[in-house]
């Protein structure tokens, strides 16, 4: 272990949970759930158990309802069978000594009629057609990716039902054995579509002013913390980036204010994705400045994510910009990432061709440090 990495390996006290290190596993969509019923399998249990050394695992994004789905082969957390399938995962993680939160997901407009109840239009803050295409897998003959359809504005009368969907999913997550949940309010999905000025053109109490655009975030978090202790609830935000091309005119105001809105509730943490090449927005000094301002406005554990090297991650913690760092691609290729950080590497490279869809290859076959040690040169 090098001294520069030491801050990543310190334990971290949250409201209700202590994590043994600050190397968290970011939510990673891998598109390997069963088609149609959106359930997990023993393969998922192995994948997550292999990574149980993380300070905290945040599950792949998991839809709260049929309406909330936008991608092929992603899991749900709203039916009894889905709950039972997730128990395989949470039991495996706990048996391996880990901790895991379920990320609660509603994609909003980033969807397609094939996923929607009765083939209806996806919903959003306002009428909007996202840029790019929906990943429908084998649901349509036109191909795995097809143009996004126009989304309709969520009716005011539907918002109580949406909040009930979040409550129900949170209850299901608790029944499935998760240690907590993360409200996915990032990456241009439904809650973020209400936050961002380009997608929220409503003229009711959920649109217009920043206070109004923050209302749905506020109400979803309130709904989830009615079901679970606040110390078991985290929130994810991202000032820029995500599919569909949504944006906010003044992210330097919107997202620090969102962080302030979440303060004072006793939440487990705030998880923020800085602009990076994988979100389509690219890294920027402006983006880092917004994230650091959000850190100042939130009063609890602050987690940063977005193309961090292990060295930069340790420095952010040492400098007080974050309490933990969530790693994505590094955790895909290095299931024992905290152990590798402690040893100073080496680090495997992820195979991008196997990120989405498929089976065991590129999912559970990455070696751990003890499996590759025999092939490494002996130090002089």
> Where are the extended beta strands (E) located within the chain?
12-13, 18-19, 23-25, 57-58, 62-63, 100-105, 123-124, 133-135, 145-147, 152-153, 180-184, 233-237, 269-273, 302-305, 324-327
Residues with Cβ within 8 Å of 296's Cβ and at least 6 positions away in sequence, in order, are 256
Active-site entry in 189, 206, 255, 363: 189
* Separation CA 22–CA 288 (nearest Å): 19
Q: Is 368 exposed, middle or buried (0-12, 13-18, 19+ CB in 10 A)?
A: middle
Catalytic residue status for 366: no
Residues with Cβ within 8 Å of 205's Cβ and at least 6 positions away in sequence, in order, are 212, 215
Q: What are phi and psi of 104, to 5 degrees?
A: -90, 125
CB of 141 closer than 8 Å to CB of 120: no
- The number of beta carbons lying within 10 Å of the beta carbon of residue 95 is 11
State how far Cα 210 lies from the chain centre: 24
Q: Which two tokens stand for residue 95?
A: 């048996």
- The DSSP secondary-structure symbol of 128 reads B
The half-sphere exposure of 111 on its side-chain side, counting CA atoms within 13 A, is: 28
CB of 306 closer than 8 Å to CB of 283: yes
* Separation CA 181–CA 270 (nearest Å): 12
Angle at 300 between CA 299 and CA 303, to 5 degrees: 120
Q: How many residues does the chain have?
A: 380
CB of 71 closer than 8 Å to CB of 135: yes
Active site (catalytic) residues: 189
């Amino acid at each position: 272990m090098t001294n520069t990495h030491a801050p990543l390996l310190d334990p971290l006290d949250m409201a209700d949970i202590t994590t043994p290190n600050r190397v968290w596993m970011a939510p990673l969509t891998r598109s390997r759930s069963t088609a149609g019923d959106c359930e997990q399998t023993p393969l998922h249990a192995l994948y997550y158990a292999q990574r149980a050394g993380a300070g905290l695992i945040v599950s792949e994004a998991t839809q709260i309802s049929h309406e909330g789905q936008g991608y092929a082969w992603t899991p749900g957390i709203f039916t009894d069978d889905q709950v039972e399938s997730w128990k395989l995962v949470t039991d495996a993680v706990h048996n391996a000594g880990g901790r895991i939160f379920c990320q609660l997901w509603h994609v909003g407009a980033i969807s397609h009629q094939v996923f929607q109840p009765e083939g209806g239009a996806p919903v959003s803050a306002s009428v909007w057609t996202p840029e790019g295409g929906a990943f429908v897998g084998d649901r349509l003959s036109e191909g795995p990716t097809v143009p996004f359809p126009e989304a309709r504005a969520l009716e005011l009368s539907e918002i109580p039902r949406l909040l009930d969907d979040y409550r129900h999913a949170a209850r299901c997550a608790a029944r499935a054995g998760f240690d907590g949940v993360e409200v996915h309010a990032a990456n241009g999905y439904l809650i973020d579509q209400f936050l961002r000025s380009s997608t929220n053109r409503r003229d009711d109490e959920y649109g217009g002013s920043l206070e109004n655009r923050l209302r749905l975030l506020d109400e979803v978090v309130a709904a989830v913390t009615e079901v679970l202790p606040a110390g078991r609830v985290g929130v994810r935000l991202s000032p820029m980036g995500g599919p569909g091309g949504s944006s906010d005119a003044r992210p330097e105001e919107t997202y620090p204010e969102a962080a302030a809105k979440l303060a004072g509730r006793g939440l487990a943490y705030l998880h923020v994705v800085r602009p990076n090449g994988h979100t389509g927005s690219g890294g920027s000094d402006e983006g880092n400045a917004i994230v650091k301002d959000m850190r100042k406005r939130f009063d609890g554990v602050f987690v940063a994510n977005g193309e961090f090297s292990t060295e930069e991650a340790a420095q952010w913690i040492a400098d007080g910009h974050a309490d933990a760092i969530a790693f994505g691609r590094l955790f895909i290729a290095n299931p024992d990432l905290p152990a590798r950080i402690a040893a100073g590497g080496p680090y495997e490279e992820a195979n991008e061709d196997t990120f989405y869809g498929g089976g065991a290859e590129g999912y559970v076959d990455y070696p751990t440090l003890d499996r590759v040690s025999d092939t490494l040169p002996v130090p002089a």
